[in-house]
Structure 1
Amino acid sequence: MRAAYASAFDADNPLAALTVGERPEPTHPQDDWVTVQVRASSLNHHDLWSLRGVGLTGDQLPMILGCDAVGEDPEGNHVVIYPVVPTPGDPRGMSILSEHFPGTFAERVAVPRMNLLPLPAGLSVTDAACLPTAWLTAWRMLTTKGRADEAESVLVQGAGGGVATAAVALGHALGKRVYATSRDAAKRDRITELGATALEPGARLPERVDLVIETVGAATFDHSLKSAAPGARIVVSGATAGHEPKVNLRRVFAMQLEILGTSMGTPGELTELLAFCAEHEVRPVVDSVVPFSRVEEAFARLNSGDVFGKVVIDHSV
């Protein structure tokens, strides 16, 4: 079957480590695993980090990339794949597809049957393929960790990427006042269209917020602290611009701030997200849809840094 996989590592030019070609059919590590025919998938920065050698070792190569997908189960049902799988031997006890087990950038992928969730009516295959990683992470940041039900205002740092853009759209759909930063003027215009007040990085907010969504890291963390209201939650799921920020601890304890780390989410949270998007007609922001026959272009698009929202791969062409 055709697949896109890491055949090597290249920290400086991850695209050079990507190969598209034939790979063996999926195997089932346990009896409760099934094979899914992939219809659509979407890229995450995790895929580029894998090509750089982060999270993988040489003896795991070649590794089919991809975490997110929608497909058809053996009975012909349309299903959304929850990408976190139990992994004995991993220190976390789990991993996401494309770490220890082949990922979704292939014609077919094997997953535990319990990882298959029904595709809700009203959600397209393309839209649902965006949700299991970036949008699920944003949903968990806002709801479970950030307790958005207790918040009136939200700051999203670095909107434009998958998680941050999802947080803007979901925060607005949840009825919150959303502020979002971006260095790019064109992206700020698009953020405004999603219902947020768009600001340049480091700009003073009209108010201190109850919840900060932080995926940037060192470049924005001081601004996140200064923008937080007393008792606010700063939820962190990434550090694309530095993972060792200076933290003013006096502000943390004086303002009684909570700094919370998270990644991904549970199957139950993904079920909630799917239902929320279907019921409230929230649709993922899709940067582009690329046919699998040009999957290299999808990786190049993500690697360019110019994306706004998700890059989706159509496996039918």
Structure 2
Amino acid sequence: MFAAYAARISPEDPLSALEVGELAAPETPADWVTVEVRASALNHHDLWSLRGVGLGEDALPMVLGCDAAGVYDGRRVLVHSVIGEGEDETLDPRRTLLSEKWPGTLADTVRVPARNVIDLPDSISFTDAACLPTAWLTAYRMLTTRGRLPKGGSVLVQGAGGGVATAAVVLAHALGARVYATSRSAEKRAQIEALGAVALESGARLPERVDVVVETVGKATLDHSIKCTAPGGRIVVSGATSGHLATVDLRRVFFLQQEILGSTMGTRDELAALLDLVATAGIRPVIDSVRPFVEVRGAFEALASGEVFGKLVLEH
């Protein structure tokens, strides 16, 4: 099969570890099903894999990718990339994502447990659907299950521009929230404002304290996130792109009874609910660019540059 895969581990130069070409189909459990991939999307998880985070030498070569939509048994389907057991598979201590233990989605086909395929409504294209299983699902869980966004509530999204952040802005707006978003880039602030957010410079004072903060930046913004959170509000963390060792003023946290919550990906049921919201609300993912799959290396280079706004999608 034709695939983009990690051929080696390179912490300092991750793109040097990327290979694109024919690869023997890896073995998977016999009762898993095969999805013919029609569209896939990149995530920063793919770059971390090339650096060796969550991926060991013993698993190489490893097909990369967590996001895909395609065809299974004549049906249009979306792939859920969390492999785990239990009512909430994200809490399974043995849970893993595609491209960590099992081959990922950046290939002609991907194999997954049958419960990990979800029927895709005709109203949603393969291209749009491929954006949902990682960044959009992460944002949805942060706002709903973990953030418990109240009706008519308010949200701050830190570091707007990345996949999770842009998804959080669109989803929070669709859920009826007042949305604020920060970025150091004037260009990205203009882009995020067009999505329905009040755009502010990083660290700026908000007009109000918010119910939920979507925090993916980490060390550089966590203190600002805590200061912007209302009494009883929640800071939901799903990433730390600026560093993971942050200083927290615990006095503010306990005095204002704030919550700092971790969040990772989402469940199959949450992905189905997200898919329903996208279909019924008529919202669509923010896409930076769509490229043919043969140009996957260029897509990785764009992702690594940090200049992307929204998702990078590949058509197969």
Alpha-carbon shift at residue 290 of structure 1 (Å): 1.2
Aligned length in residues? 311
Deviation digits for residues 132-168 of structure 1 (CA, Å, limit 9, x no counterpart): 0100000000001111135611000001000011000
Query: In structure 1, how many angstroms separate the alpha carbons of the residues matched to 2:94 and 2:9?
Result: 25
| SS of aligned partner of 2:150 | helix
Q: Distance in 2 between matches of 1:83 and 1:200?
A: 34
- Write out per-residue CA displacement over residues 71-94 of structure 1, whole angstroms, 9 at most, x where no aligned residue: 111x2111000001138xxx8211
Q: Gaps (5+ residues) in structure 2?
A: 86-91
> Match of 1:300?
301
Q: Equivalent residue for 1:117?
A: 118
Where do residues 21-36 of structure 1 align in structure 2 (5 Å cutoff)?
Answer: 21-31=21-31, 33-36=32-35
User: 1:260 and 1:150, CA in 2 relative to 1: closer, same or farther beyond 3 A?
Assistant: farther
Do 1:26 and 1:35's aligned partners in 2 also have CA atoms closer than 8 Å? no
Deviations 1:186-245 (A, max 9, x none): 000000000000001000001111110000000000000110110001000000111011
Using the size of structure 2 for normalisation, the TM-score is 0.96
Deviation at 1:3, TM superposition (A): 0.4
For the 8 Å contact 2:152–2:176, the answer to whether it is kept is no
Aligned to 2:239: 238
Partner secondary structure for residue 225 of structure 2: helix
Q: Distance in 2 between matches of 1:313 and 1:134?
A: 15
Asked if 1 retains the 8 angstrom alpha-carbon contact of 2:28 and 2:102, the reply is no
What amino acid is aligned across from residue 309 of structure 1 in structure 2?
G
Q: How does 1:144-223 map to 2 (within 5 A)?
A: 144-150=145-151, 152-223=153-224
> Contact (CA 8 Å) 2:152, 2:178: kept in 1 or not?
no
Q: Structure 2: which amino acid aligns with 1:129?
A: A
In structure 2, the partner of 1:77 is: 75
3-state DSSP of counterpart to 1:148: coil
Partners of 1:259 and 1:151 in 2: how far apart? 21
- Cα RMSD over matched residues? 1.3
In structure 2, the partner of 1:37 is 36
Q: 1:10 maps to what in 2?
A: 10
Answer whether contact 1:153 1:209 (CA < 8 A) is retained: yes
- Measured in 1, the distance between the counterparts of 2:252 and 2:30 equals 50
- Where structure 1 has 5 or more consecutive residues not aligned to the other structure, the ranges are none
Alignment-derived partner of residue 48 in structure 1: 47
Identity, % of aligned pairs? Answer: 63
Contact 1:27 / 1:110 at 8 angstroms: preserved in 2?
Answer: no
Q: Could you tell me how far apart the structure 2 residues matched to 1:285 and 1:199 are?
A: 19
So what's the TM-score if we normalise by structure 1?
Answer: 0.96
What displacement does 1:38 show?
A: 0.5
Which residue does the alignment assign to 1:309?
A: 310
CA distance in 1, matches of 2:49, 2:152: 36
Structure 2 CA distance for aligned equivalents of residues 40 and 96 of structure 1: 18
The one-letter code matched in structure 1 to 2:52 is G
In 2, Cα distance between equivalents of 1:27 and 1:36: 15
Q: Measure the CA separation in 1 of the matches of 2:30 and 2:116.
A: 13
Give the drift of 1:21. 1.2
Question: Are 1:19 and 2:19 an aligned pair?
Answer: yes
> 1:11–1:151: structure 2 CA closer, same or farther, 3 Å change rule?
farther
- Per the alignment, in what secondary structure is the counterpart of residue 198 of structure 1? strand
Q: How far, CA to CA, are the matches of 1:183 and 1:263 in structure 2?
A: 25
Asked whether the 8 Å contact 2:151–2:177 carries over to 1, the reply is no
- SS of residue in 2 equivalent to 1:101: coil
The answer as to whether partners of 1:41 and 1:129 remain within 8 angstroms in 2 is yes
CA distance, structure 1, for counterparts of residue 109 and residue 27 of structure 2? 10
User: Which amino acid is 1:76 matched to?
Assistant: G
Q: 1:145 to 1:86 in 2, by over 3 A?
A: closer
Structure 2 counterparts to residues 208-287 of structure 1, below 5 A: 208-287=209-288
State the partner residue of 2:66. Answer: 67
Contact kept in structure 2, 1:26 and 1:108, CA below 8 Å: no
Determine the C-alpha separation between the residues in 2 that align with 1:18 and 1:221: 33
